[in-house]
Structure 1
Amino acid sequence: MEQYLQLCRHILETGTKKEDRTGTGTYSVFGYQMRFDLDKGFPLMTTKKTAFRLIVSELLWFLKGDTNVKTLIEERNPIWDEWAFEKWVKSEVYHGPDMTDFGRRAAVDEEFKQVVDEQMIIFREKILSDETFALTYGDLGPIYGRQWRSWPTTDGKTIDQLQKVIHQIKNSPDSRRHIVTGWNPEFVDDMALPPCHTLFQFYVADGKLSCQLYQRSADVFLGVPFNIASYALLTHLIAKECGLEPGEFVHTLGDAHIYSNHVEQVKEQLQREPRKLPTLVITEEKDSIFDLQTEDIKVEGYDPHPKIKAPIAV
């Protein structure tokens, strides 16, 4: 994972200090690319423990076209909770403690963080127990999965981009149109978070499938390790579906940034030596990747350094 560590060093050494939507502030560079040869091991971060199970359940959630956090909460996956939670605490039906700017406040105030955690527990319980509440406050709008599997057309129909690209790879592997996009300008404002990983393209050569992702916005400390592993996994899964071997994952970043309240964590991570990459194992008992469950995908030989905690900017 030296490619990732070099990105961190590059931002700390050359990044421009910028303001951002969350009010946290970042150190940012524009335009950066990393390449991962998937023959050399699965690119799951070893300089800090990264929750592979969460990566798997989120990606399968995307692949199914789901956009409601209820599914993820049932899987004990909190990745998207803050965005759904924000929708609830900003609504007229919420009457609990003031949650204004809860992300930043909780990062610097331990007592307030406990209040947020208590309200988050209430929120998750209501999502799981109240179907109407889940439909209203658990849905994140037409985010990734919706665009990948049900892109709306002007004639009222939808396009399953993912199935279409799989068909193209199988039947016209040399095509330069193996593209799936999550950025739909008409619906960006209706999404809880406009797609950060915006567009990906597949490429077939010598019996191997490679994938390049363009990511418009990259939270380098918290988000990018997940994005690398998620799209490496996606490459493996689509290769499996198409009867190919995995090739390269190419990660192209637009605004690559380290949040100002992540700098010390990044410096701590840079002091650690990378370890051997794990091996990805996907069950052979399922005929299609669309039938896979979280427990069907694992890594073996994962021996990372300990986790490093940092606040998420919502």
Structure 2
Amino acid sequence: MSSMGVQGEAVYLDLLRDVLHHGRRQPTRAKVGGEFIDALSVFGRQVRYDLSDRFPLFTTKRVSFHSVVHELLWFLRGETNVRSLQAAGVTIWDEWADEAGELGPIYGRQWRAWNGPDGRVFDQIQAILDGLTQLRQDPRASVGRRLILNAWNVADLEKMALPPCHCLAQFHLDDAGRLSCQLYQRSADLFLGVPFNVASYALLTRLIAHVQGLEPGEFIHTLGDAHIYVNHLDQVRRQLERDPRPLPRVTLAEDLDPTLKKVRREQIVLEGYHPHPALPGEVAV
């Protein structure tokens, strides 16, 4: 068994144990079946995943890579309506969408069309791609510590169906040509959300590195409120009884759209994913 496969998932499993053992029971604004639900919560944690070989799609329960990919490509197209997700069989945003399928100016809008106070529109993904091009030409370029992807647009929060949970990412290019990403996630649903978030930002880092001719480095996940909802405690305990298996690999097509706006699902291939069965859990809304 690959040590990377075990280590990569082990840090996540250790985080689950941490919250089970040290989390304080807290009331939340979230509801299940119309009733408010509590969570076991800790504040301030960080875990790291090596992206150089294996891909951090966890194996102690099945994670839908199909949904991960379609949601990320939806973000990268700048979309905020669930209809195209639904057409791909992805329903993860349905609980928050209005009757027309709209979610307001959530991630995709902020990533691709952030509205500035002066009326200018900023494509943050393209700015990161352009910044990396500058850095490859001049390692002293001023953009070196400014490769930021920010979804927390204060002026738009009230228009969003759900304020961003994963709200700020910083990309870093080292002197060996490796691209890493650190994400700050203000609110982290460890059972349902975090496995999805880890895979999504790991894939985003891989995509950016690929079109820039770089090698993937690390994904560093910094968590604010890390919690397990009390209706997921039994599933988490079952998950922790399972032995992690070798992590899979992801292969990307050579001819990806360099702007990442038109990447196709079939250009992203998952190989060697053999997880334990899924552990269903009702989402807290």
Residue 185 of structure 2 aligns with an amino acid whose one-letter code is Q
Q: Does 1:239 align with 2:202?
A: no
1:66-124 deviation digits (Å, cap 9, x = unpaired): 0000110111111101111xx34xxxxxxxxxxxxxxxxxxxxxxxxxxxxxxxxxxxx
Paired residues for 1:217-256 under 5 Å = 217-256=187-226
Paired residues for 1:259-274 under 5 Å = 259-274=229-244
Residue 233 of structure 2 aligns with an amino acid whose one-letter code is V
Paired residues for 1:153-232 under 5 Å = 153-172=116-135, 174=139, 175-205=144-174, 206-232=176-202
User: What is the DSSP-based 3-state SS (H/G/I as helix, E as strand, rest coil) of the residue aligned with 1:231?
Assistant: helix
The answer as to whether partners of 2:53 and 2:249 remain within 8 angstroms in 1 is: no
**Superposition TM-score, scaled by structure 1 size:** 0.82
Residue 161 of structure 2 aligns with an amino acid whose one-letter code is A
Question: CA–CA distance in 1 between the matches of 2:267 and 2:89?
Answer: 16
Q: Which residue of 1 aligns with 2:40?
A: 27
The answer as to whether partners of 2:80 and 2:109 remain within 8 angstroms in 1 is: yes
Q: Which residue of 1 aligns with 2:252?
A: 282
Moved over 2 A (4+): 285-291
Q: Which residue of 1 aligns with 2:3?
A: none
Paired residue for 1:298, among 246, 266, 269? Answer: 269
Q: CA offset at residue 285 of structure 1?
A: 3.5
Q: Which has the higher helix share?
A: 1
**Superposition TM-score, scaled by structure 2 size:** 0.91
Q: CA offset at residue 51 of structure 1?
A: 0.5
Q: Which residue of 1 aligns with 2:76?
A: 63
Residue 148 of structure 1 aligns with an amino acid whose one-letter code is W
Does 293-302 or 171-180 show the bigger shift?
Answer: 171-180
Q: Which residue of 1 aligns with 2:96?
A: 83
User: What is the DSSP-based 3-state SS (H/G/I as helix, E as strand, rest coil) of the residue aligned with 1:188?
Assistant: helix
Give aligned pairs, total: 264
Residue 252 of structure 2 aligns with an amino acid whose one-letter code is I
Residue 105 of structure 2 aligns with an amino acid whose one-letter code is P
Q: Does 1:73 align with 2:36?
A: no
Q: CA offset at residue 293 of structure 1?
A: 1.1
Q: CA offset at residue 287 of structure 1?
A: 4.2
Q: Which has the higher strand share?
A: 2
Residue 220 of structure 1 aligns with an amino acid whose one-letter code is L
Question: CA–CA distance in 2 between the matches of 1:39 and 1:59?
Answer: 20
Q: Which residue of 2 aligns with 1:312?
A: 283
Question: CA–CA distance in 2 between the matches of 1:237 and 1:39?
Answer: 13
User: What is the DSSP-based 3-state SS (H/G/I as helix, E as strand, rest coil) of the residue aligned with 2:145?
Assistant: coil
